Structure 1
Amino acid sequence: MSEFRPSFEQQIYKFMNDPAYRPMRTSELARELGIDTSRRRAFRTALKSLETEEKIVRIRHNRWAVARAQKTVRGRLSVSPDGNGMIRVEGETRDRALYVAAENLQCGLHRDLVEAEVLPSGAGRRSGEGRVVRVLERWFTQVVGLVRHTPYYAYVVPDNPRLHQTVQLDTDPRGEPPPEDHKVVVELDEWTDPLRPLTGRCLEDIGHRDAPGVAMQCIIRSHGYRQEFPAEVEEEQQRLMASPPPVEHEHRRDRTEEVAFTIDPDTARDFDDAISIREHPEGGWLLGVHIADVSHYVRPGSAMDVEAAKRGNSVYLVDRVIMMLPEKVTAELCSLKPDRVRAAHTMECRITDEGEILSSDTFPASIRSRARLTYRQVQAYFDEGTAAGIPAEVQKGLSRLHTLTMRWRRDRLRHGSIDLALPEVECRLDTEGRIKGVETREGSEAQHLVEECMLLANRVVARRLHEAPCPALYRVHGDPEPDQWSQMAAELESLGITDPPSNQSEINAMLRRLPDGWLRYAAMLCVLRNFQRAYYTTEPGGHFGLGFECYSHFTSPIRRYPDLLIHRLLSALEQNAPPPCTAEQLANLADHCSQTEREAEEAEKESVEQKRVEYYADQLRKGHTGPYRAHIVRFLKKGLIVELEESLQRGLVAFSGITDDFYRLNEERTRAVGRRGKKRMHIGEAIDVLLVKVDTARRWLDFQFADERRTGSRGGKGRQGSRGGTRGRPAGKKGSRGNKKGRPSKSRKKR
């Protein structure tokens, strides 16, 4: 075979360099060059060799072309649930992105670090479009998914809707593949040829998709989390608990006489912030924000520190917390429990009666909390004067803080901070983790009090670090791009808001004009959808959402690694010591923690979605189908997405189940109009729906109109979730990337 390779390569390369050559598939090339079937394997080997030498490249529709001196970029690939991708380009402005159509992903998967060529615009392509040419670093080495069987092989459909490639399971020499409908963890094999299927090896059978606890375990596994800590971390925790470093030290100021107190949720187990306030001898008030000094116990480079940096943050799932640091350290050593002397890092500022900040300082301190209060308890004190469980010495400070923080909040919103306090979904679970109810809750004045104190502390710390000649870590939230403002305007117009905002103050003015209710909530969602993501960086920048010029995260070192870094940087500055890390190390940690934060947000959202869907599955089993009050939030080709008022749960009403007319969407997909009767449906419209189907595996609900005049015999045809009913089927056209949703190719069945 080897004797043919050089001549094949020369023959192929010469043929493809002919000016008349047009890109061809492998079979077309072989036919043009007169390669018979007996020599096809050597021919394919020669093609692969030329590709490895970067002399030829595979382009759209699996055709071969000569590699030109095309501009290439590196970046992290993000694939959307619809199959298309975006590459955040490295080495340029953070906001620059390259669009990648699904057929140009090649072997790129969601979150891979890739090299891509920039494609010329025109020929039906948008400006700023690219094609993946090489995967530099695979992000997902393991995936979690559902096992499916064909007569020839078993494969796995990934749970992650951004992973469109199914995984064909390697033949297990020890026996049968995992059973159908089981959830498994799969280790991916190397994948470099988009014409061949992605394969993998089953590492763990989590259990049947409907077995108790399997769904939450899948979320944990799919994000790579583990609740247990490595043995070296547990050993370090034991040593630390047996012999903790003393709190009292000459560099630590004694603030144990201050009347400090904590305010947290009822279920909180660790308390990382306390507040104190008293009259200042020269007039006004002295406010103290005391943050648990985790850096006193977790030293740089220790096993605990390395693991905390890797995790980046704690993850708050519905039924459990995956901690950044071991629980004994956070809940015992660091936690600001009542009547215990604890190490803290304090931000102290002097305030006038009107709330003006006269001066501020930061320093390590020792404190002793007087009370552990809850938001519910403090809100009852504000609303009804109920002081049950609140010491008398704390009540005076609470009342003064209430007045000051409400004034700060009003001023902050008036000067550009955007009020986007969306309702939160709360899932009520029984002792075994089963869902018993779903409700939404709004922020309270007690929560606003704590929030304003923490915002102030974060700003003071950011300003102090910014003014010092040392590296620092900032929290930056960029202004929306022009196209985001345009998209925001279009979405708001679909809600009937015809005077869209173009800056911070106009956003707040618009929201103030809207009455409380669904319309205001929907407008907030439109605004949020068109914001950029906040991130960590070593370069100071503004925070658009808060309206601050300089901002950092300092107040939650128990659950956020960036806050722990800030504590170390601040301590070094206060003690005139060298910084604990270099600017380059800090920049790398900033990027890493921005990524782990996004990952945690996704996992937390998935856990809420899972429990909420389980709740409605239980309701359906009991025959509780509604009607439910809902609002139309989006239109798709197959139907309308609605959101229930009671729980913010979303689902699909399929057009095929609406029989009073045939509906067409307008170009912007903001309304649907009936062809015969010209009936209109628009985003924001309130409707009553009945629950007809729940798919707990895909976390999706199907509804139909409660009005019987609008539904009929075709209703069953539309009962598919909006993510597509064909994902994961084994049938499909030849070529694994080209198949819809990445189904395995027919050609593989022959093997």
Structure 2
Amino acid sequence: MARDLCVPSSQRAAFRAALSELESRGELVRGKKARYWLPDNRNAGDLIRGRIQMSNDRKRRSALFLPEHPDGHSVFRNMDRPRLFVPARFTSTALDGDTVDVELQYGASPRHRGWQHDDPGYPQARVVEVVERSGRPIVGIYHGKGVRATVAPEEGRLPGSFRLMSILPQAKPGDIVVASFAGWNEVHLPPMAKMVKVLGREDAPGVDILKVIHRHGLPLEFPDVVLSEAEMIDEVVPEEEISRREDWRERQVFTIDPEDAKDFDDAICVTEKRDGGWELAVHIADVSHYVKPGSALDAEAKKRGNSVYLADRVIPMLPERLSNGVCSLKPHVERLTHAAILDFDARGKLTASRFVSAVIRSRHRYTYEQAYEQMMLNDEEVESISDENERSLTLHLKQAWGLASMLRRRRFKNGALDLDMTEIRVVLDEKGRAVDVKKSVYDESHQLIEEFMLAANEAVAFVTKNAPAPSIYRVHDDPDPGKLEEFADLARSFGHRVGDVTHRPELQNLLSGIRGSVEEHSVKVSLLRSLRRAEYSTDPTGHYGLAKSNYTHFTSPIRRYADLVVHRV
């Protein structure tokens, strides 16, 4: 090529560099024996844009196409979940998560697990063009050296091998590495990648967690501009701000959280009234006071979406100065909150609600284990507590459970499903090796907090639903009857008598009947897979699993961006 193009020998190195640059940008394709050609840019008639989701079975190489705007195409009109099957021969050079343009193909019915259309005229999709790459990191095992160097991803949704265009000097064959996508222009050639990070040997402590972090592109650090904004926030609440808020500093407000938690989103205060009713105050950290729309803090929180909890670390949505500092409802310091003040009658029915900006000074920080221990004390044991403050808080805990247990009974009477399961937590040593597992029993202390958070979320959803401003809701649609019947068959295989599970009381009876059995976990997991996934929506259509017509997420703004949006509403 250099000779035919009359490139002088002094410029051959620059010529080769230019070819490599064109190849990495996808403007040239390099084949065997260093032959180059232009990529095949095909056009089609009516194209539909969307995202491609590859099968987890690498040998199958088939995919699903998820349209960006299903309402704009009649082919998706009657689909409950708008999508099209993409046979392996039609996936072209698309990778999982890429944005693509497809055209419709009509032919044989797709033979794909989970695909239920039997009409041979049902449309399939053919990828015409990859519009935008997902940019997902490639995590896998480094093999070979030099021009034969490859990275083999562990994830089945990606091709089995990527040719490495560049290699870090410290990398050794067999290392787990992270690579960035560099190009793939012809199906018959392997995709290309550039090595960007070496994680270490596969069996080295902590590498398994790092694989998860990099595979999902989780950010380990905050940008400097975000940290600078966080540092400018004073942890001491000014008197001017306190004067504008409802003062709860002298009330018996406290928190209950996991033992290793540092980001305390919520605090509670329960008061029994003379008429037998109750006042419940659910105080939630006022993150919206510190994280303003348009700020760098807000942009980063929106990008992250939520905090991520892993076995050896937390990747927070907000910088530590906020998440574990000024926003966290730590004991004995002044903190700003949004509070839902809910009144219940003696039967646990909500009679009134109001929402205020408040300031609190938490009296105590309980772990779930500590709270449960205090809640289980009998009257004589409570009276024997010598410390007056501890005795008062213990009485408050027991009083709070009186209301929470009543709310819980009402919720299940209204049709809520009992899908609570034992949580298993892995204990790591200082080197990151698993040394133990702990079982977290879902006891009364967990149930107390759950019921109060559910009550606050429901009350907030009711108010925003009837307000002029739009908001976000947590919705859970009714399940597909066919999938429920498949679940019923599985439950029968364990020897349980199962009625018509499309009727909520029958589901509740089944869940009650398996409580404490060996198969309880398996049956509940199977039921969860039979139900639709809960999701966020601007349309408050209700929550099937909780049996609530109004529901949102309000109680965790430190770790969920959706809750922060609801606070602003």
Aligned to 1:363: 356
> Distance in 2 between the 1:556 and 1:401 partners?
20
Residue 281 of structure 2 is aligned to residue 288 of structure 1: yes
1:188 to 1:369, Cα distance in 2 relative to 1, 3 A: same
1:99 to 1:507, Cα distance in 2 relative to 1, 3 A: farther
- For 1:91, which of 46, 61, 69 is the aligned residue? 69
- For 1:154, which of 149, 155, 158 is the aligned residue? 149
Pairwise CA distance, 1:137: 2.4
Aligned to 2:96: 110
Pairwise CA distance, 1:490: 4.2
1:372 to 1:177, Cα distance in 2 relative to 1, 3 A: closer
Pairwise CA distance, 1:331: 1.9
1:356 to 1:247, Cα distance in 2 relative to 1, 3 A: farther
Aligned to 1:132: 127
- For 1:255, which of 223, 235, 248 is the aligned residue? 248
Contact 2:104 2:126 in 1 (8 A): yes
**Structure 1 letter corresponding to 2:468:** P
Pairwise CA distance, 1:375: 0.8
Pairwise CA distance, 1:116: 2.7
Pairwise CA distance, 1:565: 1.0
Contact 1:474 1:536 in 2 (8 A): yes
Aligned to 1:454: 453
1:192 to 1:462, Cα distance in 2 relative to 1, 3 A: farther
Pairwise CA distance, 1:498: 6.1
SS of the residue 1:258 aligns to? coil
SS of the residue 1:201 aligns to? strand
**Structure 1 letter corresponding to 2:502:** S
1:162 to 1:272, Cα distance in 2 relative to 1, 3 A: same
Aligned to 1:586: none
Residue 164 of structure 2 is aligned to residue 169 of structure 1: yes
Aligned to 1:502: 502
Residue 313 of structure 2 is aligned to residue 335 of structure 1: no
1:121 to 1:397, Cα distance in 2 relative to 1, 3 A: farther
Pairwise CA distance, 1:72: 4.5
Residue 262 of structure 2 is aligned to residue 269 of structure 1: yes
> Distance in 2 between the 1:519 and 1:156 partners?
41
> Distance in 2 between the 1:362 and 1:489 partners?
43
Residue 532 of structure 2 is aligned to residue 511 of structure 1: no
- For 2:48, which of 57, 73, 88 is the aligned residue? 73
> Distance in 2 between the 1:490 and 1:131 partners?
37
Aligned to 2:189: 196
- For 2:199, which of 203, 206, 213 is the aligned residue? 206
Aligned residues: 509
Deviates more, 1:386-395 or 1:338-347: 386-395
1:319 to 1:123, Cα distance in 2 relative to 1, 3 A: closer
> Distance in 2 between the 1:467 and 1:477 partners?
20
**Structure 1 letter corresponding to 2:102:** A
> Distance in 2 between the 1:135 and 1:495 partners?
47
Cα deviation, 1:280-322, whole Å, max 9, x if unaligned, reads 4665221100001011111212121111111111110001001
Aligned to 2:433: 434
Instruction: Normalising by structure 2, report the TM-score.
Output: 0.83
Pairwise CA distance, 1:171: 5.2
Cα deviation, 1:394-419, whole Å, max 9, x if unaligned, reads 22322122122112112212222111
Contact 2:237 2:335 in 1 (8 A): no
Deviates more, 1:484-493 or 1:394-403: 484-493
Pairwise CA distance, 1:441: 3.1
1:636-655 mapped onto 2 (5 Å cutoff): none
1:588-667 mapped onto 2 (5 Å cutoff): none
- For 1:144, which of 129, 139, 142 is the aligned residue? 139
SS of the residue 2:512 aligns to? helix
Aligned to 2:19: none
Aligned to 1:444: 443
RMSD: 2.7
* Unmatched segments (≥5 aa) in structure 1: 2-40, 55-66, 570-751
**Structure 2 letter corresponding to 1:159:** E
**Structure 2 letter corresponding to 1:561:** Y
1:546 to 1:75, Cα distance in 2 relative to 1, 3 A: farther
Cα deviation, 1:223-243, whole Å, max 9, x if unaligned, reads 212322111112112211377
Pairwise CA distance, 1:249: 4.5
> Distance in 2 between the 1:268 and 1:517 partners?
31
**Structure 2 letter corresponding to 1:363:** V
Cα deviation, 1:81-135, whole Å, max 9, x if unaligned, reads 2244323333237722223334432222222222333332536665454333322
Residue 168 of structure 2 is aligned to residue 182 of structure 1: no
Pairwise CA distance, 1:246: 5.3
- For 1:314, which of 289, 307, 318 is the aligned residue? 307
Pairwise CA distance, 1:358: 0.9
SS of the residue 1:313 aligns to? coil
Cα deviation, 1:598-638, whole Å, max 9, x if unaligned, reads xxxxxxxxxxxxxxxxxxxxxxxxxxxxxxxxxxxxxxxxx
Instruction: Normalising by structure 1, report the TM-score.
Output: 0.64
> Distance in 2 between the 1:494 and 1:114 partners?
43
Contact 2:498 2:506 in 1 (8 A): no
Identity %: 37
SS of the residue 2:405 aligns to? helix
Residue 563 of structure 2 is aligned to residue 563 of structure 1: yes
Aligned to 1:6: none
SS of the residue 1:134 aligns to? strand
Contact 1:245 1:297 in 2 (8 A): no
> Distance in 2 between the 1:141 and 1:316 partners?
20
Aligned to 2:420: 421
SS of the residue 1:133 aligns to? strand
**Structure 1 letter corresponding to 2:514:** L
Contact 1:186 1:202 in 2 (8 A): yes
**Structure 1 letter corresponding to 2:85:** Y
Pairwise CA distance, 1:508: 1.3
* Unmatched segments (≥5 aa) in structure 2: 2-34, 71-78, 112-116
Pairwise CA distance, 1:459: 0.5
Pairwise CA distance, 1:522: 1.5
> Distance in 2 between the 1:303 and 1:232 partners?
7
Contact 1:154 1:177 in 2 (8 A): no
Contact 1:476 1:537 in 2 (8 A): yes
1:448 to 1:508, Cα distance in 2 relative to 1, 3 A: same
> Distance in 2 between the 1:341 and 1:242 partners?
9
> Distance in 1 between the 2:206 and 2:309 partners?
17
> Distance in 2 between the 1:321 and 1:480 partners?
33
Aligned to 2:14: none
> Distance in 2 between the 1:347 and 1:106 partners?
53
> Distance in 2 between the 1:251 and 1:239 partners?
22
**Structure 2 letter corresponding to 1:98:** L
Contact 1:244 1:297 in 2 (8 A): no
Contact 2:375 2:394 in 1 (8 A): no
1:422 to 1:121, Cα distance in 2 relative to 1, 3 A: farther
> Distance in 1 between the 2:276 and 2:410 partners?
22
> Distance in 2 between the 1:411 and 1:106 partners?
55
Contact 2:258 2:368 in 1 (8 A): yes
> Distance in 2 between the 1:254 and 1:144 partners?
51
1:466 to 1:242, Cα distance in 2 relative to 1, 3 A: closer
Contact 1:99 1:129 in 2 (8 A): yes
Residue 459 of structure 2 is aligned to residue 481 of structure 1: no
Contact 1:247 1:343 in 2 (8 A): no
Pairwise CA distance, 1:210: 2.2
Contact 1:292 1:345 in 2 (8 A): yes
> Distance in 2 between the 1:493 and 1:114 partners?
44
Pairwise CA distance, 1:251: 4.1
> Distance in 2 between the 1:242 and 1:511 partners?
47
> Distance in 2 between the 1:563 and 1:242 partners?
22
Contact 1:88 1:94 in 2 (8 A): no
> Distance in 2 between the 1:361 and 1:150 partners?
67
